[in-house]
């Protein structure tokens, strides 16, 4: 009602104004005519302007389309063999050609055309500037023929990509295009030739990234020892953060074996799921620890740490060594003893209860108890090693 009133009042007010401007003037026919002439002239001019603007717009759009057609024609010439998917010149993905299945990187799940079997991961960890660089070599099997390799990366700066086939033909396969698609956290590599089912392939990717101050991926934490701030770098991959540390098929269904090797300054030590298999020291104060191959498992079970912790250990009745790593002062004051003993008892209990032997040769667990960390954060980090 109120609205109607208002609009009616508005309408009346408008017509009143109109009446004022027209009616209040002296009613001579001469003036009437000039007013009409002006109105007609104004009307004609606005229509003319409209026509001109429309004409300009049409001309522009026609020439623009011709230009676009030319450039995409040129692009098409370059990728005549593969018109399955398109990208505009600036590396942006064109939204015109979106058809399901042709742009699998737009899907939430990875295309099920490839299956990883083994990861060889080498990382160099720079604690002085909180960065790391790495090289991953993924051995995978082709399930359905495809030209695309779609795997997860997030926050990683990918440098070099090489793809090899297991066939006799030596040398890398030609890569047509590769790009990061951030909305789905994937990296897409399009090959010139199709990969064939039942064949295995290898992909080498070099990359670098920051060790973020955040409890995800490969991150850093700190504590104060003797009035000095000390740093450590650890991982938290569950549920979907392995992709922040290395390119991988980061879905639990893609189980594979992993071999990790970590290079870092010798003032730090490194830990991972498996025991150290070989350790080499450079003369310049760097050490490379190579860990044994893990059992077949999901990416989020993988874990490693670069820290300066000490440990206390216990051995279960059937010989599994349990080590609890923590700050030297925490170990000395016995803060880790309860966790160590309860872990030993729990492990024994579960082995008896399920009648399944613990499948790894050791159980290591860095317990981070920085002065300023909440108990929730502590549980998270510990969990990645207990899993
Ligand atoms: C085709 O691609 C090559 C290298 O990617 C580039 O040098 C060349 O200019 C492209 N040709 C056309 C017609 O775009
Ligand atoms: C790609 O397109 C989207 C939207 O169409 C735009 O927001 C983005 O800036 C574009 N990126 C590049 C690199 O042109
Ligand atoms: C792979 O190929 C088989 C038959 O050749 C088909 O049934 C299946 O749906 C394909 N899978 C994918 C992920 O394309
Ligand atoms: C960090 O330090 C390493 C080794 O000193 C160096 O190779 C790397 O480029 C540095 N990264 C950045 C981002 O400064
Ligand atoms: C690919 O990666 C594997 C394992 O990291 C390495 O042994 C091999 O030399 C790499 N190949 C190339 C060409 O970089
Ligand atoms: C690690 O601890 C040792 C002994 O406590 C110390 O000498 C060394 O400087 C520490 N290294 C780092 C990187 O904090
Ligand atoms: C703990 O955190 C607070 C605020 O986040 C900071 O002011 C304080 O210096 C920190 N203490 C230590 C020992 O790092």
Mean pLDDT of the chain: 80
| Ligand 6 binding pocket, CB closer than 6 Å | 230, 267-268, 308, 328
Nearest CA to ligand 6 atom 2: 308
- Taking only the tens place, the pLDDT of each residue in 300-346 is 999 999 999 999 988 888 888 888 999 898 888 988 889 899 989 99
Return the H-helix or E-strand segment holding 61.
Answer: helix 29-78
Whether the per-residue pLDDT at 148 is higher than 90: the answer is yes
Q: Identify which has the larger pLDDT, 62 or 372.
A: 62
Cβ(183) – ligand 2 distance below 6 Å: no
Q: Identify which has the larger pLDDT, 333 or 369.
A: 333
For the CA of 127, the nearest atom of ligand 6: 13
Grade residue 168 by pLDDT with cuts at 50, 70 and 90: low
Q: Which of 104, 115, 144 to mutate to test the pocket of ligand 3 (most atoms within 8 A of CB)?
A: 144
Nearest CA to ligand 5 atom 2: 137
Judged by average pLDDT, the poorest of 12-16, 113-117, 206-210, 383-387 is 383-387
Q: How far apart are CA 254 and CA 293, in angstroms?
A: 17
Alpha carbon of 137 to ligand 5 centroid (Å): 6
What SS3 state is found at 283? coil
Whether the per-residue pLDDT at 81 is higher than 50: the answer is no
In this structure, what are the phi and psi dihedrals at residue 314, rounded to the nearest 5 degrees?
-140, 160
User: Counting every residue, how long is the chain?
Assistant: 387
- Taking only the tens place, the pLDDT of each residue in 178-211 is 999 999 999 999 999 999 999 999 999 999 999 9
Answer whether the bond into residue 127 is a cis peptide, omega within 30°. Answer: no
Cβ(90) – ligand 2 distance below 6 Å: yes
pLDDT number for residue 156 = 95
């Amino acid at each position: 009602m109120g609205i109607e009133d208002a609009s009616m009042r508005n309408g009346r007010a408008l017509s009143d104004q109109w009446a004022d401007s027209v009616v209040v003037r002296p009613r001579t026919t001469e003036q009437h005519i000039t007013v009409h002439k002006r109105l007609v002239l104004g009307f004609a001019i606005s229509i003319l302007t409209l026509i001109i603007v429309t004409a300009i717009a049409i001309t522009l759009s026609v020439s623009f389309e011709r230009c676009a057609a030319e450039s995409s024609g040129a692009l098409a010439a370059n990728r005549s063999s593969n018109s399955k998917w398109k990208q505009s010149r600036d590396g942006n993905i064109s939204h015109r050609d979106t058809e399901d299945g042709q742009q699998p990187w737009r899907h939430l799940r990875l295309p099920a055309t490839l299956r990883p079997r083994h990861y060889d991961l080498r990382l160099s960890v720079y604690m002085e500037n909180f960065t790391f660089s790495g090289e991953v070599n993924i051995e995978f099997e082709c399930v359905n023929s495809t030209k695309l390799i779609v795997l997860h990366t997030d926050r990683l700066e990918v440098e070099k990509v090489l793809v090899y086939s297991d066939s006799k033909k030596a040398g890398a396969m030609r890569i047509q295009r590769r790009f990061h698609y951030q909305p789905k956290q994937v990296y897409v590599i399009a090959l010139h030739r199709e990969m064939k089912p039942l064949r295995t392939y290898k992909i080498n990717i070099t990359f670098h990234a920051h060790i973020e101050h955040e409890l995800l991926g490969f991150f850093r934490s700190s504590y104060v020892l003797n009035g000095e701030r000390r740093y450590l770098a650890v991982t938290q991959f569950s549920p979907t953060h392995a992709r922040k540390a290395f390119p991988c098929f980061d879905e639990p269904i893609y189980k594979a074996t992993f071999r990790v090797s970590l290079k870092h300054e010798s003032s730090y030590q490194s830990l991972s799921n498996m025991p150290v298999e070989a350790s080499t020291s450079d003369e310049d104060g760097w050490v490379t620890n190579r860990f044994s191959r893990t059992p077949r498992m999901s990416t989020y079970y993988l874990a490693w740490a670069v820290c300066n912790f000490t440990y206390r250990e216990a051995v279960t009745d059937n010989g599994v060594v349990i080590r609890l790593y923590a700050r030297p002062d925490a170990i000395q004051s016995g803060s880790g003893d309860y966790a160590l003993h309860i872990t030993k008892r729990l492990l024994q209990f579960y082995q008896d209860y399920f009648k399944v032997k613990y499948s790894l040769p050791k159980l290591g667990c860095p317990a981070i108890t920085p002065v300023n960390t909440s108990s929730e954060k502590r549980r998270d980090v510990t969990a990645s090693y207990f899993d």
